[in-house]
Chains A and B, each alone.
Chain A
Amino acid sequence: MPSTDALLLPGEGADVSRRAFLQYAGFGLATAALTGCSRGPVQSVLTHTVAPVGVVPGRAYWIATTCHGCPAACGVLAKCRDGRPVKLEGNELHTLSRGGLCATGQAEILSLYDSKRLGSPQVEGASVKWTESDSKLRATLDKARAAGNVRLLTGTIHSPSTRAWIAKFGAQFGDFKHVEYDALSVSAIQDAHAATHGSRALPAYRFSEAKCIASFDADFLGTWISPVSFAADWAAGRRPDEQNPHMSRHLHFEARMSVTGSAADERTRLAPWELAGALSGLCEALEHHASGPERVSGSLAQHRLQHQLEVLALELWNSRGHSLVVSGSNDVAVQVLVNYANELLGNYGTTLSIARPSLQRRGSDAELEALGRELASGAVDVLIISGANPAYDLPTEVASVVTSAKTIVVHSDGLDETAALAQYRLPTAHALESWNDGEPEVGRFSLTQPTVPSLHNGRTLREILARLAGDERSEHALLEDHWRENVHGQFPGGDDFDAFFKRALHDGYVELEGAATEPVFNADAVGAASSDTPTSGLGLVLYPKVGMLAGEHAHNPWLQELPDPVTKVTWDNYACLSEARASELGVKLGDVIRITVEGGQESLELPVVVQRGQHDDVVAVALGYGRLGTDRFAGVGPDWLEGEPTIRTGETIGVNVAQLQRFINGQVRGDVGSLSIEHVGRNVTLAATQDHHTLEVPAHLAPKGGEVRDALMTTSLATYAHDPEHAIHRPHVPDADLWPDDHGKTHHHWGMAVDLSACIGCSACTVGCQAENNVPVVGRDEVSRHREMHWMRIDRYLSGTGDKVTAAYQPMFCQQCDNAPCEAVCPVLATVHSSEGLNQQVYNRCVGTRYCANTCPYKARRFNWFDYPREDRLQNQQLNPDVTVRTRGVMEKCTFCAQRIQEAKSEAARLGVPMADGDIKVACQQSCPTQAIVFGDMNDPESAVSKLSAKQRAYGVLTELNVQPSVSYLARVRNVEELEHSDSEEDHG
């Protein structure tokens, strides 16, 4: 009898052919199936006992509500399935946000399902029931009422009903004060209007009305006040086409490279301490044009930017009444000059208004500083803190004295830095599980309604105050009664209350119509301003990132893993240095430097990111990092032999720099002080996606002479006006085709058009895509191994050096090629073409050869190297039930939200109507504040996508490969006479 080896090794004795082997194996399998055939797993179907009206299992329904990711209060629709929200989308009816939703707004859904939120009130560290904490807190407050004082410290509260309850609550105390502050303060703008217009107010800005915009360090497209509505307004004026080659002009002055700066037509580097001088110069130049009294004089003639400021003044003057000057500075003197400039230009009433001001930021730094002094003196008996984290995000003057209050009550969603110090910890109800209202602008009211029963037993501030007052009405009743008594009356002559409230709930908001009169400008407040240059020649800039803002979103893994639009770094903050400064110091990406603020005790160690376009004399560091509890991400990402944890237990993601802020003239400033930096000789790996998935041919592989790949094309408005095709290099496309021409897309042909003029790189689409398509978070280590899973990335292109750096962004995702290279190489037909032009990815067929990812010229495919942890069962509630959760060893990529296409088809079939253009909005398109992305049927000549793709500035990326992408990009148009650089100089890095 032959040995077993011989049996298994055919050819030696046992001549079992391959064919025979397969026959036997197949037979064996079939027999096994007969003997051991098993049923599928037994599944329970737990039905409702009483079916709720209007809710059909498996059918999505939408609830209009308001985003509470920041005080901008954008309108959102929560998509709910089977009693829980699974996705947030912008509410197109909302007149401020108009259907857009930023990255943080998109990520709010994940915060709802955060299993580490506080689950019950805590008194002195012990968990208690609300009734117990209520009675104890009532006793504490009774003591303060008899002899003592109460201070309430909150973030901006624009909810009218909550403000009414605060007023009612405060009235019972002899000594009560409510202080509001914003971690990203715009207090100086309000104080400047108090000086120039007699009313402390934040203007409502209307960028859509502005033909010329001058921004002095205001990142209004990224993080400043209300970026979604500003971006929508800004983009409305910047859609040139062949027939109408006009667009607004946007000039930007800033120290670091911001999202807004990259989108500007012209960008000039200006250090924070130069803002006062530059605005004085601008006002002086505007005074010349206005030929009025000279209130600001003498600074323009010697200014380093004299010529630029004069040109700017002329451009603004030519668009007077339709221009806008804004500044992100928190210096009142600077903001007074901004007001003066807008007044000289006659912009009040058109491009900005304080007749109906914005209430999106109401914080007063002066009151905050006063509270700090009061706290330091030990005079505060009860300090109630709600929706704010002063121990983390304020300058040391206030952060360190919070504990001086005798009793601290903190109302927050988790055990944050401030809650850790408190005697009373009261859990907050998430916006998606509570009733609330808002008034982001005077006369615009929005409503927030619960989408899910309370998951963590939290309460809103209004409910807490009502219960303390012994009012046991439900949350809904509290809100409805407030609206009946206070809001409905402001809308006279309309519906009765029930109809009015119902309509407001359905639409998500109501607003007053008609104009209001602007207050009169008081020119006496105006005077030239100046500020000190740092003695060391190096200053600090603290800035918020689009995902992290001031740190309130630091516990959201989507936002931690979202690459910063400009630096492309994830999971960290870092010190940005200009190229010149970095080379002078001899540091490169990831080298750790020590930053010491003059006069400060502490120094910080941060890794370096070299950022082109940054001012040479500043170090820019992002706020919002170093949050307590970010070690929760220790378990993010796969656990394998070589894997490094995203963070070690007890450590924090990044470093907190908020303590470097200071109070200057009553305002919190992050841009003061003189710095010294030194190289500490260490290097850390930053998880930067900047050089991942590059479209460029590596130098050693490029054909002789180099291959120019114009992935991103830019043109100037002047050139575009006389030759719309000038910037478009249409490469020769070979006519050869592997495929027989028998796959006509006779029904639909899905396609997309992306307007690069409108894309600002804000990354809302990336997070929107992640939420819609169950894209996993992989952790810092995996990102640094080029294994991030985002289906949609924003490619950043920089050109020029020094003062002449321009940036552009290009959303990149699967281009659904008609001649898809990936399809030809898949050995198991896991990626095949649909009859509607989609490049389908069939997860259950994929065996993970990764040939497709290698061959994809756009590098749009992502591979599941692991089963990424999905152990948090609460967090899993967010998963889109219409999309497969992929397992290890499977390739995945953008499918143009095939589930949304199918949903629209099924609905059309159900209703018996044909599908119309616009029925399908893919996730990235839905989220885009500037509507840069348009999806539709290219077989329909009347569809929006067909019309855009037919524009003369439309082009496809890498069409020379004859892959025939289904995505058209519209070349970026900058409103300049001539581009400083040829397009070929633009690079990915």
Chain B
Amino acid sequence: MSMNHMIFGVCCVALGAVSVLSESEFRMLGGNQGYEPEQPIPFSHRLHAGELAIDCQYCHYGARQSRNAGVPSASICMNCHKVVTSGYDAFLKERELAKAEGREAQRVYSPGIEKLLEATALGKDGRPLPGKQPEPIDWVRVHNLPDFVYFDHRPHVARNIACETCHGPVGTMDRMRQESTLSMGWCIDCHRTNEKGQSGRRDSSEGRVSDHVSTNCVTCHL
């Protein structure tokens, strides 16, 4: 490689770096893979979806009815957390401590649950706190597609595609992480694989009633 080539190459690298760094909106495809932001409440999918095996759609009920799976409202959390206010370990510890101190065990509140109560403006007795308004919890969005992409959960859920196919091993994640690239190539790969053998129209006679898996642009770009 000649000297000229070397210098030209270095210049290109420098120019590229400067232009990209200065243009903060520039992103590489799939650049959000591995994104694992801290959330206002350290909610653990490992505990809820993994250990306790709560159905994903108990909380993300939008997935079968809407484009968006939705982040559950605090009232859904409170269905259980009216009763369950701390981890089991903390509960046992308090029971033993109470036994040792010869008093009745108190209800223990984990810091996360306390935030949840605050958000819903509920007191520890489960009643609305006078003079307080519920405040929505400011979750940080993990899976985020560009504005010109219109993903729809409905057909995927209707075809019984496991949530883990796209969202990864959610049941092992303490903090939610973007497992896949969510890039167009990644979407298309799956669509191409499943498109085959599904031509032909109005397939109710074959027992398959949903519409075909499409690689058309307007499937996602509207």
Contact = CB atoms under 8 A, between A and B. Distances in A.
A21 to B, nearest CB: 8
B1 to A, nearest CB: 10
12 contacts: A16-B8, A28-B9, A37-B31, A40-B32, A47-B139, A49-B121, A50-B75, A834-B218, A842-B217, A909-B211, A912-B210, A914-B203
B67 interface: yes
B201 A32 contact: no
B56 interface: no
Contacts of B212: 747
A45 interface: yes
A791 to B, nearest CB: 14
Interface size class of A (residues with CB under 8 A): 35 or more
A101 B213 CA distance: 35
B37 A56 contact: no
A907 B154 contact: yes
A895 B221 CA distance: 11
A44 B139 contact: yes
B37 A42 contact: yes
Contact of B31 (A38, A49, A57): A38
Interface size class of B (residues with CB under 8 A): 35 or more
A34 to B, nearest CB: 9
A291 to B, nearest CB: 63
B71 A47 contact: yes
Interface stretch (A152-160, A250-258, A571-579, A896-904): A896-904
Contacts of B104: none
A208 to B, nearest CB: 35
A21, A46, A835, A906, most chain B CB atoms within 10 A: A906
Interface string B62-95: 1011111011111110000000000000000000
Contact of A914 (B4, B7, B141, B202): B202
Given A35-B21, A902-B218, A13 B4 contact: yes
Interface of chain B, main secondary structure: loop
Closest 7 CB pairs of A and B: A28-B16, A58-B68, A49-B134, A59-B66, A48-B73, A28-B12, A32-B20
A882 B221 contact: no
B120 A46 contact: no
A7 B201 contact: no
Interface stretch (B22-30, B47-55, B163-171): B22-30
B204 interface: yes
A39 interface: yes
B67 A59 contact: yes
A421 B68 CA distance: 50
A676 interface: no
A2 to B, nearest CB: 7
Given A39-B31, A59-B67, A7 B221 contact: no
A38 B216 CA distance: 30
B187 interface: no
B216 A58 contact: no
B157 to A, nearest CB: 8
Interface of B: 4-5, 7-9, 11-17, 19-21, 24-28, 31-32, 35, 37, 61-62, 64-68, 70-76, 119-121, 134-141, 144, 146-148, 150, 152, 154-155, 157-159, 199-204, 209-212, 214, 216-219, 221-222
Given A39-B32, A747-B201, A47 B137 contact: yes
A757 B25 CA distance: 52
B206 to A, nearest CB: 11
A844 interface: yes
Nearest to B220: A902
A128 interface: no
B66 A56 contact: yes
A906 B34 CA distance: 29
A302 interface: no
A843 interface: yes
B204 A914 contact: yes
A51 B12 contact: no
Interface string A881-917: 0111100000000010011011001111110111100
B163 to A, nearest CB: 16
A620 interface: no
A939 B139 CA distance: 46
B188 to A, nearest CB: 13
Contact of B4 (A7, A21, A32, A907): A7
A39 B137 CA distance: 22
Nearest to B204: A914
Contacts of B9: 24, 27-28
A106 to B, nearest CB: 20
Given A25-B16, A39-B31, A51-B72, 20 more contacts: A7-B7, A14-B4, A24-B9, A36-B20, A37-B31, A44-B140, A45-B138, A45-B139, A48-B75, A50-B74, A747-B211, A838-B218, A840-B218, A882-B150, A882-B222, A884-B221, A895-B222, A912-B158, A914-B209, A915-B211
A910 B16 contact: no
A836 B32 contact: no
Contact of A29 (B20, B135, B136): B20
Contacts of B144: 40, 43
Given A49-B73, A884-B222, A909 B159 contact: yes
B200 A747 contact: yes
B199 A747 contact: yes
B221 A40 contact: no
B148 A884 contact: yes
Contacts of B15: 28
Contacts of A914: 202-204, 209
A902 B120 contact: no
Interface in A908-966: 908-910, 912-915, 939-940
A832 B146 CA distance: 21
Contacts of B210: 908-909, 912
A538 B149 CA distance: 60
A10 to B, nearest CB: 9
A27 B12 contact: yes
A746 interface: yes
Contact of B221 (A37, A746, A844, A901): A844
Contacts of B62: 56-59
Given A38-B24, A838-B218, A905-B211, A7 B148 contact: no
A33 interface: yes
A908 B148 contact: no
Contacts of A908: 209-211
A471 B140 CA distance: 46
Nearest to B135: A49
Nearest to B74: A49
B139 A58 contact: no
Nearest to A46: B136
A7 B11 contact: yes
Contacts of A843: 148, 221
Contacts of A2: 4
A738 interface: no
A48 B136 contact: yes
B211 A746 contact: no
A779 B140 CA distance: 39
B58 to A, nearest CB: 13
Contacts of A747: 199-201, 211-212
B31 A45 contact: no
A32, A832, A838, most chain B CB atoms within 10 A: A32
A51 B76 contact: yes
Given A28-B17, A59-B62, A905-B211, A40 B71 contact: no
B120 A28 contact: no
Contacts of B74: 47-50
Contacts of A15: 4
B152 A902 contact: yes
Contacts of B28: 33, 37
Given A31-B13, A57-B66, A746-B200, A840 B216 contact: yes
B7 to A, nearest CB: 7
Contacts of B20: 29, 32-33, 36
A898 B27 CA distance: 28
A56 B70 contact: yes
Nearest to A25: B12
